[in-house]
A = this chain, B = another copy of it.
Amino acid sequence: MIENDVFHHPLVVELLDETRTLWALGHAMSLMGWDLETNMPGKGVTARSEAFSNLAVLQRNLLLRDEIVKTVDKLSEGIEELDDYEKGVVRVLSREIRIARALPEELVAKLAKVTSEATRIWSEAKKRNDFDRFRPHLEEIMKLVREKAERLGYDQHPYDALLDLYEEGLRTRDVEEIFSSLVPTTRRILDKVLSDDFYPRKHPLEDFSYDPERARELMKEILLKLGWDWNRGRLDESPHPFTMGLDVDDVRITTRYEGKDIRRALYSVIHEFGHALYELQIDRRISMTPIGGGVSLGVHESQSRFWENMIGRSHWFLKGVEEIIAKYLGAVAEHSWLELYRYVNTVRPDLVRVDADELTYNLHIYLRFQLEKRLISGDAQVGELPELWDSGIEELLGIRPKNYSEGVLQDIHWSHGSIGYFPTYTLGNLIAAQVWGKMRSEIDGLPELVEKLDLQPIRRWLRDRIHRWGATYPPSSLIQRVLGERPSTEHITRYFEWKYLKLPDELRR
């Protein structure tokens, strides 16, 4: 019997005994995923994929056993008797069971097969600028994803069913509401920023070459300043930076060193640190349970974006790390902190989402959201995508891709079948701004703390408000509960106006 001082209801305790094996499988599969990106010899991929798909089926079968399903049903009937943590366990498991039941094993297996092949083809097609090569695969994916949406069920829009997979409870109309205010705000601010010269379109430091060995040392020191504990985490290298939480005491992040434009490595590290801190600060009494991880992609992204943008790209932080950067990358630091600030905050309409700045980023998401919604409702066809993409991005940013590779083929997500995923990025940006707004009103002297790199009060605030709860509350309830309001564009608007319209005058003085 699992001993704990959080869960008391005997059926919940029994349930947690049963689900411990699911947790263990999840732990193993997370490690397999991490290893695949960081360590695995190239030819190991066949066995790794085979092992992964076998364990995914096993996980599903274990979840749908009577011992779990019946207990969850029973607990759901008397949900009022349970405390918040226990309710969380029942909510998370009910949701997982509902999803697993809705999607027949054959559909899951077929999607896994089709997307695995499609990812390989996408990679080739992107290299060769050949949309037609990818097109039939994306058509097949869209067909299967539409079937998935139908099987999952929805009230208003089939896209709702997909959004919910990545962000519990998020609906199409919520996302529409967000963009209906965020898009015009962004364009209004962007016009002003571009007509001014404070935030440059391009900065000379983008071409600065660095020694990866020195950069590795720099990142270690930056992580220590952020509060990293090497006994509870690792920093490794992978082509695409990511975070993997294996347990509250084992969270691993990665970055990459390209030898040029150090901010790409630096802000990956700070971004992933934000994800990692979330996992590291979950109440350890709920670790290894169904509520022992981050609650949703949107809330997770809010934590990474908060550290990357609100903290990491602030002029206070750059004042704080100026000397550390100088220590490892002398030539960069011939520039003042103000110049570093301008370097890490260039603003320009860019065709590629992952290279987009903080301000224009959400416009990229808006384009994808519009297209996905139309594809899923049948209002647009895969064959029309290239033209819809190009005209869409031109309308939003005034630039047009010269090829598919920097246009419709740029993202890996669709080849993975991850439709409904993109909006969580913008949701994360919104929540990050909300956290920032709330925190500024509650922590005295926040700017000075950031400048002194005295970040413990910030980490503690995030832990007490958000992190410790794990998945106890559904994402929007968590935000409502801890920030006092639902996700909205109010804070991000205020933040953008301050950063892009007011701050330049202050800093120019």
- The minimal Cβ–Cβ distance linking A472 to chain B, given in whole angstroms, is 19
* Contact in complex: B55, A24 (CB < 8 Å): yes
* Contact in complex: B250, A48 (CB < 8 Å): yes
User: Given A35-B35, A54-B20, A54-B21, are A27 and B41 neighbors across the interface (CB < 8 Å)?
Assistant: no
* Contact in complex: A28, B51 (CB < 8 Å): yes
Which residue in B29, B47, B248, B252 is a CB contact (below 8 Å) of A287?
B47
A249 to B46, CA, bound (A): 8
Most buried by B among A24, A32, A55, A229: A24
A351 to B40, CA, bound (A): 39
User: Given A25-B55, A41-B231, are A247 and B20 neighbors across the interface (CB < 8 Å)?
Assistant: no
Q: Does A39 belong to the interface (CB within 8 Å)? A: yes
Q: Does A23 belong to the interface (CB within 8 Å)? A: yes
Contact with B along A277-302 (1 / 0, CB 8 A): 00000000001100000000000000
Which residue in B39, B54, B250 is a CB contact (below 8 Å) of A24?
B54
* Contact in complex: B20, A288 (CB < 8 Å): no
Which residue in B31, B48, B234, B288 is a CB contact (below 8 Å) of A41?
B234
Residues of chain B within 8 A of A35, CB atoms compared? 31, 35
Contact with B along A33-72 (1 / 0, CB 8 A): 0010001111110111011101101100000000000000
* Contact in complex: A246, B287 (CB < 8 Å): no
Q: Does A420 belong to the interface (CB within 8 Å)? A: no
* Contact in complex: A58, B21 (CB < 8 Å): yes
Interface size, A (range): 35 or more
Closest to A236 in B: B39
Residues of chain B within 8 A of A50, CB atoms compared? 20, 24, 288
Q: Does A232 belong to the interface (CB within 8 Å)? A: yes
Copies in the complex: 2
Contact with B along A1-36 (1 / 0, CB 8 A): 000000000000000000011011101110110010
Q: Which of A56-106 contact B (CB under 8 A)?
A: 57-58
Residues of chain B within 8 A of A44, CB atoms compared? 232, 246-247, 249-250
Residues of chain B within 8 A of A24, CB atoms compared? 50-52, 54-55, 58
Most buried by B among A52, A246, A288: A246
Q: Does A230 belong to the interface (CB within 8 Å)? A: yes
* Contact in complex: A250, B29 (CB < 8 Å): no
* Contact in complex: A28, B55 (CB < 8 Å): yes
Which residue in B28, B48, B232 is a CB contact (below 8 Å) of A32?
B28
Q: Does A349 belong to the interface (CB within 8 Å)? A: no
Q: Does A312 belong to the interface (CB within 8 Å)? A: no
User: Given A29-B28, A288-B47, are A249 and B23 neighbors across the interface (CB < 8 Å)?
Assistant: no
* Contact in complex: A231, B42 (CB < 8 Å): yes
A39 to B50, CA, bound (A): 24
User: Given A24-B54, A54-B21, are A249 and B43 neighbors across the interface (CB < 8 Å)?
Assistant: yes
A43 to B228, CA, bound (A): 13
* Contact in complex: A47, B232 (CB < 8 Å): no
Residues of chain B within 8 A of A47, CB atoms compared? 27, 246-250, 287-288
Closest to A46 in B: B249
**A residues near B, CB below 8 A?**
20-21, 23-25, 27-29, 31-32, 35, 39-44, 46-48, 50-52, 54-55, 57-58, 229-234, 246-250, 252, 287-288
Query: What are 14 A-B interface contacts by the 8 Å CB criterion?
Result: A21-B54, A24-B50, A24-B52, A31-B32, A40-B250, A41-B232, A41-B233, A43-B232, A43-B249, A43-B250, A44-B246, A46-B249, A47-B248, A47-B287
